[in-house]
Structure 1
Amino acid sequence: MKIDPKEMTELMAAQATPRLDIYVGIHKALRACMADALLSAGRMDPDDENDVAQVSQRVLALLDFCAAHLQHENEFIHTAIEARAPGGSAAVTHEHQEHEQTITELREMVAELNGRPGTARASAALDLYRRLALFVAHNFQHMHTEETALSAVLWSRYTDAELESIHQALVSSIPPDELMREVRWIVPFMNPAERTAMLSDMQRHAPAPAFAAVIDMVRPHLKDPEWLKLARSLALPPVPGLVGYQ
């Protein structure tokens, strides 16, 4: 199936009511994590052992995040598309293969950077930064295609209830430690309504200790006004000393 951009745009515009968007939360997380890693790589001091080590870990964590995300989409989202729109995910699947190759190359570049003596790291650091920038740039374009063209394919062939079932199956397949790492990037970079929707559902269905662990993890990454909105919407206990919580 060939994706016709004009047809997809018209189909999306024809939606009478907002549809379930299975891409929005995880893609906001990926964009935030990518930006964080890229900016860190750009300001890294190649002569500082600790700085190189810390930035390398950030980049490697991003690459792990991206690799896992590709696997999840291939297994669940693309499978769903191919089941009802054969060939509908072909172009994006090809880009996934390119991203997998680039992830391998970037890991090798991180190893190369760390294997050089301090005085010879500057060129490797700049090479890593530039290659990572291209990877991020292509991913931003790639995610836009998924959020528009592929969303339109899914919406035209699945109900929201069916999409929610696919999404829940995907989330259930993620190991708890990996899921917590994803939530750390998802929740802080959502807008308030998205944040409340996600966490209120978790509040209703997750064990209390698991929900508390998520709240404890994301709280340091929210500005006070963001936290106040979230705390009110979830009826969380007031935070001592935090002005504005009623």
Structure 2
Amino acid sequence: MNTTNRYNSFNQVHKGLRAYLYDTALKLQQTDLADAKAGEAAMQQVEEVLVLFESHAHNEDEFFNRPLEETSPEVARMFEKEHEEDHRLGQVLTDLVAQWREEPDDHARAITGRNLFYAFNEFIAFNLYHMNKEEIELNAVLWKQYSDATIKATEQALVQSVPPQKMMKYAKWMVRGINNTELIKWLQEVRVFAPAELLTALLSILEHELPTERFDRVMRGLNKPAAVL
């Protein structure tokens, strides 16, 4: 079976989540975690990463893995177990953030901050491997059992289940994480199938997040007929 052109429903959100992981890792490396004021911004970013990853894993289980329990139970359970491990790693980070905030002085904060940095690296390593595995192994099962139309419909149901405010947080990092061709295609689909206010919100994010030259290039691509792209 040729799967080269099959629809990868994980591509866009995973690119966004990877971008957020990379950005947060760099922030942790550059921040003096002995400094309570400077470190707090990094802690808040770690917490938001954990919220988005926890929600993402829950939605994948609900919309992709649980339906597979009847037809491919071993595959479904494998990925559900990996999400349990992801939750465990996230809880370690949550506990370390709380501990860091309670430390009495710079020296103690520096030590806990270093432990948190290592724990975040473990979280990154696990999730990078896990997302690759989903895009290769889980997709292979989905492609065998479902048409692209069914996969897209499932993805849309998942997206519609996410609260708008949280969806905009995902959108920010997807804008940062995907390439111009993917951005243009996404915006074209939103323009055709979604309410006008969603396109307006996404364009506002693009204008804020992208360098002017790249934003202009995407807008030129968006305004071309779809067949030309």
Q: Secondary structure at the match of 1:87?
A: helix
Q: Which residue of 1 aligns with 2:179?
A: 191
Question: In structure 1, how many angstroms separate the alpha carbons of the residues matched to 2:46 and 2:199?
Answer: 28
TM-score (norm 2): 0.92
Measured after TM superposition, the shift of residue 33 of structure 1 is: 0.6
Measured after TM superposition, the shift of residue 68 of structure 1 is: 0.4
Name stretches of at least 5 consecutive residues in structure 1 with no aligned partner. 1-13, 237-246
- Matched ranges for 1:138-177 at <5 A: 138-177=126-165
Q: Secondary structure at the match of 2:67?
A: helix
Which of 40, 43, 54 pairs up with 1:53?
A: 40
Q: Secondary structure at the match of 1:112?
A: helix
- Between the two proteins, the alignment pairs up a number of residues equal to 223
Name stretches of at least 5 consecutive residues in structure 2 with no aligned partner. 225-229
Task: Give runs of ≥4 in structure 1 deviating > 6 Å.
Answer: none
Which of 189, 208, 212 pairs up with 2:196?
A: 208
2:57 matched to 1:95? no
Question: In structure 1, how many angstroms separate the alpha carbons of the residues matched to 2:130 and 2:196?
Answer: 37
Maintained 8 Å contact 1:52/1:114: no
Kindly provide the CA deviation profile for residues 54-81 of structure 1, in whole angstroms up to 9, marking residues without a partner as x.
Answer: 1011000000011000100010011232
Q: Which residue of 2 aligns with 1:39?
A: 26
Q: Percent same amino acid among aligned pairs?
A: 30
Question: In structure 1, how many angstroms separate the alpha carbons of the residues matched to 2:43 and 2:209?
Answer: 21
CA RMSD of aligned residues (A): 1.6
Question: In structure 2, how many angstroms separate the alpha carbons of the residues matched to 1:115 and 1:16?
Answer: 51
Maintained 8 Å contact 1:33/1:62: yes
| More helix, by proportion | 2
Measured after TM superposition, the shift of residue 218 of structure 1 is: 2.6
TM-score (norm 1): 0.86
